[in-house]
Amino acid sequence: MAEEQMNFRKSIPAAIAAEMRLNPNIILLGEDVGAAGGVFKTSLGLFEEFGPERVLDTPISEQAIIGAAIGSAAQGLRPIAELMFADFAGVTFDQIANQLAKYRYMSAGQYKLPVTVRLANGVGGGFAAQHSQSAENWFLNIPGLKIVTPSTPNDMYGLLRSAIVDDNPVLVFEHKGLFNVKGDISNERIPLGVAQVVTRGTDLTIVATQLMRHRSVEAAEILNSRGISVEVIDPRTLVPFDDATIRESLSNTSRLLVVQEGPAGGSWGSDLITRTMSDSWSLFDAPPRLISSPSTPVPYAANLENAWLPSVDKIVHAATELTSY
Amino acid sequence: MAEEQMNFRKSIPAAIAAEMRLNPNIILLGEDVGAAGGVFKTSLGLFEEFGPERVLDTPISEQAIIGAAIGSAAQGLRPIAELMFADFAGVTFDQIANQLAKYRYMSAGQYKLPVTVRLANGVGGGFAAQHSQSAENWFLNIPGLKIVTPSTPNDMYGLLRSAIVDDNPVLVFEHKGLFNVKGDISNERIPLGVAQVVTRGTDLTIVATQLMRHRSVEAAEILNSRGISVEVIDPRTLVPFDDATIRESLSNTSRLLVVQEGPAGGSWGSDLITRTMSDSWSLFDAPPRLISSPSTPVPYAANLENAWLPSVDKIVHAATELTSY
Amino acid sequence: MNITHPYVAWESREVPTLKQQLPNDFENVLKKMYEIRFFEDEVQDLYSAGLVRGSTHLYQGQEAVSVGAISALRAEDTMTCTYRSHGATIAKGAQIDACFAELLGRAGGLCNGKGGSMHFTDASIGALGSNAIVGGHLPIANGAALAAKFLGTGKVSVCFFGDGATNIGAFHESLNLASLWKLPVIFVVENNQYGEYSPVKSTTSGEKIVDRALGYAMYGVQVDGNDVVSMSAIVADAADRARRGDGPTLIEAVTYRHSGHSRADLAAYRPEGELDEWMKRDPILLLENAIKEFNPDGAAIIERIKENARTEVNEAKNRAVSWPEPDLSELYTDVMD
Amino acid sequence: MNITHPYVAWESREVPTLKQQLPNDFENVLKKMYEIRFFEDEVQDLYSAGLVRGSTHLYQGQEAVSVGAISALRAEDTMTCTYRSHGATIAKGAQIDACFAELLGRAGGLCNGKGGSMHFTDASIGALGSNAIVGGHLPIANGAALAAKFLGTGKVSVCFFGDGATNIGAFHESLNLASLWKLPVIFVVENNQYGEYSPVKSTTSGEKIVDRALGYAMYGVQVDGNDVVSMSAIVADAADRARRGDGPTLIEAVTYRHSGHSRADLAAYRPEGELDEWMKRDPILLLENAIKEFNPDGAAIIERIKENARTEVNEAKNRAVSWPEPDLSELYTDVMD
Ligand SMILES: Cc1ncc(C[n+]2csc(CCOP(=O)(O)OP(=O)(O)O)c2C)c(N)n1
Ligand SMILES: Cc1ncc(C[n+]2csc(CCOP(=O)(O)OP(=O)(O)O)c2C)c(N)n1
Ligand SMILES: [Mg+2]
Ligand SMILES: [Mg+2]
């Protein structure tokens, strides 16, 4: 199909519409996803095209939203539930972690739940502590959930389509800081669990998602100009994680830097380093390094929030240190 | 004070009573914690001693329980909230992660919340997927919470007392598989954030908590008898974590094995390995290793549940491999 | 205090009772109730013998609630329930040997032994799942109803839960949404007087649980949960309303659990004599009295049904006990594709 | 339909209104309302100028709710509210420059700039905190009330939230617990007709929000939230009841927000003419009309108060804009000891 330029925000309803056209049993539900087109305008046009039976505005009842998705999925629908800010997963954590994720296992496979949960995560410019979290990390210890973290309009589009047609529960995190990023869209599904090598390089492997992927690419350009050749890899999916691509890169670079928004504790970056160290110890010529946010909630003030986010400078600095190890 | 033998279960109300006697503003609230003495009998006798105003039975309303603790702590009380099975933290995740943990930061320190939350975690013999989780891992990515995981009656007693008098929110995980473990009680507070070196050794450092600490000690005995000298360390507190003690041990053993109940993703074991590798790379002579449960919910059937838990055998095997690296 | 509540049918409608009539298919109804009774008696024994692990929550005394409710529904209707779900799952039609096997953690169990006592699930009979999180299944019951409405299957979603569950957030969110969207769902509160060790009044504000229906402009009915005819009639009404597109109903079935909350709970918190009073209203006893009253051969019929049920349950248990543990590979399956 | 609801005072009690009387301290009441109005107008400008980040939720049109409520309370009473909390926090007595500074992310802000628009907190005046999670503060309001009861301080805990919040689980759990424990808490629903872009009827089942009080056997009152005298009288009643140990009250204050939900929302979803109708019932206008009606010097008094408020707000803003950003070290403080 023809490529077209689209921003991240618009790629979302485009992906949903593409799948909804193919399968009449796909529904979308959430707060103000219908008539209003979503608070982030990420479901714009869907209500008009698919009507109030397939695009459902709900009360502010996140447990009811996820439960409706679970039950209807068990009975033949393929629901997409939007939770708006990912932080709101807190009020429906039970429905996601104890119900959605475990349903298939507890029933020994009698029910599969093709549920997509959409969440807007990350720092978005002054939303403060309860509206800025990288909530993808909350679910890493909960088996039974796929976790998707797209960084470009094309990945957003293609991965969301794959999430919707996947037979497993999939959490899709849409980063608030990326909504206005533009890029080409190839109008195709992108398989879950396949990393993307964003820039090729030989001295250092940087693994990063979402906003940090973009900062890492910026850093890589600076580093390249200083003679340090950096391979930036975007895993795109955290569960399942494409360890093979990281390992392959490491076998060339011998150095690993993981850059992540959000605190280090219980994070995917921490998991990646532990897995890679344990399994591919001999590939390393230097200690692995995790750049993350400090262990604090997200502050409001611009200068504090900026300092909370790992900066391009910080990445450049750490990369330089690592490669001179 | 004189030492006495006590089991893990009984050390809990003993600790609570000791602090309640010292401070009239300590209250305990939760489902059936009062007249019934708790579903695990871990508040036995408190209702009788302190009465219904300080030991409060609540409805099945976990959000209301944690909220009552937060608000009353902001107004001068020192509440202990019991959530019964740690898995139920799912229905009040928002109150813990978005409210309790962030309250102090968001208000720039205007309020400190001396709240203790007690949760019964881990596998307890056939409670299955929704009543067996190691929920301590759910909170690692949430700054603002101390996390305590005692393994012995004495640690349970002493750490719980410290949690209660701590000015920060503290989550205390009481492992269901340990309730009947007996041991000496020294009747003193034990500071949070200090690891315990359980067995001294020179070939390998094993770090483990709760049930896995006990299995690790068993494994260490077997390994010792085979000429492998193992240092078992119980961190006792996951946040703050006593990295220094681990590092010191590693500087002797050069080998690290972390043993943990629960899946590897987003876990404290994963965090520990990443931190230690990044900070103390040169101490390692072999790849670090994480033994964890498989990435599945906890199954019910005895043989499956047993296989889900890391066994002494598995520890012995991994330790042997590591030391021959 | 008498609340005038336009949505509560209780005061305004004659509810048929066992004093007036037998259930249509009274033999099957009695049989199901006995199957459940004997099943639970056996479970208690198996538990005491150390063969059932974790927790079990028995249903003796509440049989009329789910048996009555399900007798008014269609086979294809869906059901969700709590950890105290052995009764409802058998009432819905699960194989008894597979139920035993699940409790025993055996291959051939409803969930291959992976779920256990608190997670009885049988997709083949529309038993969508039992939930060990209080209130966790109410939102899910809505989802099943939403699918029925969307697909036009005419299915009704029945949701059983306890009095204690009416105080948890998920209850509220679910009732509001169901009412708003006119979902074909029937919420059945089994008010067995206690949530764990706490009497319902000590944890639940309001005059009656069913009063909460008003806040959602939902039909609400309080009914004698030990009277299988009343239960059936009220649920039949609710199912009609649901299938007509008139939305959900909240039914408060007043009943009693004979045993403690779970496992070894001896229920010392119950006032002296309370159990005795309720034993006089044992749902099986009430049904048997009616059968004897309305049928000259009543006593003989009862005896036959009872013995059949006893034998079947016993044989089912013996089969299940002989089945093997699940294969170790089961540990890793059914997580994700 | 008219529901006979024994707990609802609305029908059974005469509620005083601005048609009958002025607030006792009407000058201060008007001043507060103008402070809030001008504050929010400035915030809109600051937001448009790119000086306020994230989200802001303005309060114009709802001033009578919190100003009226708080005028009936004691200074030591505690308050919790939502992200739409600038009004309530100023009503409770926060310094206006510190409020501006918080929005601007400056040192000297209520929370040193760490909280922002959605987390106004001022311990010195009992403003326990604003919550960006819908319903998240209701359980916390109970906690403050529990402490007051336990310590015998006589403090009342007032809790403001929106109509949309009445559909979330925490609402239900909180009202049940408050009723059960007879906590001295006043739940004030600011029914401003919309939750985000959704009209209240599209998300909220039941005839009236206040009907939900019945399920908890709680006092419930619906009141004209644009009438500062009615608000004050009803809250005074509720506070008396709370201090007497008679427990909580649910007050549904019917009101309207003049602007969109947040930031750039132009509120295109509102029916044509709706805003105009409500502007005729602007709470400031209603109060001014009453002042003119009851006081021969009314017009002059109003003019003086208005200008004072305008000047004070403007000066406060100018001060706040000149304050520095928080020190970078603030990033790391106030997490844990
Ligand atoms: C969210 C949650 N909180 C607490 C529990 C522990 N628990 C299990 S059963 C129960 C009592 C439930 O009472 P009720 O709803 O009346 O049902 P019953 O057991 O009487 O059938 C409690 C508190 C739980 N399983 N889930
Ligand atoms: C748990 C949760 N869900 C959703 C949101 C997003 N949200 C913020 S305000 C709002 C509308 C709230 O409406 P209402 O309670 O009527 O208050 P109002 O904004 O009208 O004052 C929503 C849905 C949130 N902040 N928290
Ligand atoms: Mg009950
Ligand atoms: Mg509103």
On whether both B206 and B181 belong to a single domain, the answer is no
C199 — contact with chain B (CB < 8 Å)?
Answer: no
Residue A4: per-residue pLDDT? 77
On whether both A76 and A204 belong to a single domain, the answer is no
How many Å apart are CA A142 and CA A120, to the nearest integer?
A: 20
Upper half-sphere CA count for residue C159 (Cβ side, 13 Å)? 32
Looking up tokens 């209080």 gives C134
On whether both B54 and B146 belong to a single domain, the answer is yes
Residue B4: per-residue pLDDT? 77
How many Å apart are CA C135 and CA C168, to the nearest integer?
A: 6
Residue D13: per-residue pLDDT? 64
Q: Phi/psi of residue B149, each to 5°?
A: -135, 80
Mean pLDDT on A156-182: 98
Residue D307: per-residue pLDDT? 98
On whether both A163 and A267 belong to a single domain, the answer is no
What are the tens digits of pLDDT across the range D160-200?
A: 999 999 999 999 999 999 999 999 999 999 999 999 999 99
What are the tens digits of pLDDT across the range A12-56?
A: 999 999 999 999 999 999 999 999 999 999 999 999 999 999 999
Q: Is B62 a catalytic residue?
A: yes
* Domain locations along chain C: 26-322
Mean pLDDT on C210-224: 93
How many Å apart are CA A86 and CA D262, to the nearest integer?
A: 19
Q: Is pLDDT above 80 for A206?
A: yes
Q: In terms of residue numbers, what domain contains B76? A: 4-185
> Under a CB-based contact definition with an 8 Å cutoff, are residues C197 and A88 in contact?
no
Searching chain A, which residue's CA lies closest to the CA of residue B257?
Answer: A278
Residue C13: per-residue pLDDT? 64
How many Å apart are CA A119 and CA D303, to the nearest integer?
A: 49
Going by pLDDT thresholds of 50, 70 and 90, the confidence category of residue C5 is very low
Does a structural domain hold residue B49? yes
Going by pLDDT thresholds of 50, 70 and 90, the confidence category of residue D5 is very low
Q: Is D107 left (phi over 0), alpha (psi -120 to 50) or beta?
A: beta
End-to-end CA distance of chain D: 57
Q: Is pLDDT above 70 for B235?
A: yes
Asked if C169's CB is within 8 angstroms of D180's CB, the reply is no
CA D40 to each of CA C60, D265, D279: distance values in angstroms, whole numbers, following the listed order: 62, 15, 16
How many Å apart are CA B11 and CA C188, to the nearest integer?
A: 41
Does a structural domain hold residue A71? yes
More confident residue, B302 or C14: B302
More confident residue, D112 or D9: D112
Does a structural domain hold residue B64? yes
How many Å apart are CA D91 and CA D78, to the nearest integer?
A: 12
Mean pLDDT on A242-253: 98
Interface ipTM: 0.98
On whether both B122 and B241 belong to a single domain, the answer is no
Mean pLDDT on D278-305: 98
CA C171 to each of CA C9, C180, D111: distance values in angstroms, whole numbers, following the listed order: 21, 14, 36
Neighboring chain D residues of B144 at a CB cutoff of 8 Å: 335-336
Does a structural domain hold residue A191? no
On whether both B120 and B243 belong to a single domain, the answer is no
* Ligand 2 nearest-atom number relative to CA D196: 11
On whether both A16 and A147 belong to a single domain, the answer is yes
Own/partner pairs, C288-295, CB within 8 angstroms, 24+ separation: C288/C30, C289/C18, C290/C18, C290/C19, C290/C22, C290/C26, C290/C229, C291/C22, C291/C26, C291/C30, C294/C21, C294/C22, C295/C22
Mean pLDDT on D311-326: 98
Say yes or no: domain D26-322 is CATH 3.40.190.10: no
Q: Is A317 a catalytic residue?
A: no
CA C210 to each of CA C7, C61, C215, C219, C308: distance values in angstroms, whole numbers, following the listed order: 10, 21, 10, 9, 38
D331 — contact with chain A (CB < 8 Å)?
Answer: yes
Q: Is pLDDT above 90 for A227?
A: yes
Asked if D167's CB is within 8 angstroms of A35's CB, the reply is no
The domain that contains A232 carries what CATH number?
A: 3.40.50.920
What are the tens digits of pLDDT across the range D109-148?
A: 999 999 999 999 999 999 999 999 999 999 999 999 999 9
Residue D14: per-residue pLDDT? 80
Q: Is pLDDT above 90 for D8?
A: no
Residue A325: per-residue pLDDT? 84
Boundary-marking domain end, from A138, A158, A185: A185
The per-residue pLDDT of chain D, averaged, comes to 95
Q: Is pLDDT above 70 for D9?
A: no
Residue D84: per-residue pLDDT? 98
D167 — contact with chain A (CB < 8 Å)?
Answer: yes
On whether both B179 and B219 belong to a single domain, the answer is no
On whether both B55 and B17 belong to a single domain, the answer is yes
On whether both A306 and A179 belong to a single domain, the answer is no
Six token digits for residue C234: 């009220």
Disruptive mutation site among B61, B130, B304, B309 for chain C (greatest number of C CBs within 10 Å): B304
What are the tens digits of pLDDT across the range D223-281?
A: 999 999 999 999 999 999 999 999 999 999 999 999 999 977 889 999 999 999 999 99
Does a structural domain hold residue B156? yes
Write the DSSP string, D232-260: HHHHHHHHHHHHHT---EEEEEE---SS-
The shortest CB-CB distance from A57 to any of D168, D202, D326 is to D202
- Spatial CA neighbour of C189 closest among C138, C250, C129, C244: C250
**Cβ-proximal residues to B164 (8 Å cutoff; 6+ apart), any chain:** B15, B16, B19, B26, B78, B80, B116
C132 touches ligand 1 (CB under 6 Å): yes
D196 touches ligand 2 (CB under 6 Å): yes
How many Å apart are CA C40 and CA C59, to the nearest integer?
A: 7
Looking up tokens 């986010």 gives A309
Mean pLDDT on C135-157: 98
SS3 D212: helix
Write the DSSP string, A41-110: STTTTHHHHH-TTTEEE--S-HHHHHHHHHHHHHTT-EEEEEEEEGGGGGGGHIIIIIIITTHHHHTTTS
Does a structural domain hold residue A123? yes
Q: What share of chain C is helix, strand, coil (3-state, %, to 5)?
A: 50, 10, 40
Split into its structural domains, chain B has a count of 2
How many Å apart are CA C97 and CA C321, to the nearest integer?
A: 9
On whether both A21 and A95 belong to a single domain, the answer is yes
On whether both B138 and B227 belong to a single domain, the answer is no
Q: Is pLDDT above 60 for A110?
A: yes
The domain that contains B119 carries what CATH number?
A: 3.40.50.970
Residue A2: per-residue pLDDT? 53
Mean pLDDT on B121-140: 97
Residue A19: per-residue pLDDT? 98
Six token digits for residue A1: 């199909």
D137 touches ligand 2 (CB under 6 Å): no
Does a structural domain hold residue B301? yes
Burial class (CB in 10 A: 0-12, 13-18, 19+), B146: buried
Partner B, chain D 271-330, Cβ-Cβ below 8 Å? 330
Going by pLDDT thresholds of 50, 70 and 90, the confidence category of residue C3 is very low
**Cβ-proximal residues to D47 (8 Å cutoff; 6+ apart), any chain:** D56, D263
The shortest CB-CB distance from C180 to any of D173, D176, D205 is to D205
Q: Is pLDDT above 60 for A295?
A: yes
Looking up tokens 């937060």 gives B70
How many Å apart are CA D182 and CA D72, to the nearest integer?
A: 20
* Ligand 2 nearest-atom number relative to CA A32: 23
* Ligand 2 nearest-atom number relative to CA B94: 1
Residue B2: per-residue pLDDT? 53
Boundary-marking domain end, from A159, A185, A211: A185
Residue of A60, A94, A127 with the most ligand 2 atoms within 8 Å of its CB, for mutation: A60
How many Å apart are CA D43 and CA D104, to the nearest integer?
A: 10
What are the tens digits of pLDDT across the range C62-83?
A: 999 999 999 999 999 999 999 9
Does a structural domain hold residue A16? yes
**Cβ-proximal residues to D310 (8 Å cutoff; 6+ apart), any chain:** D34, D38
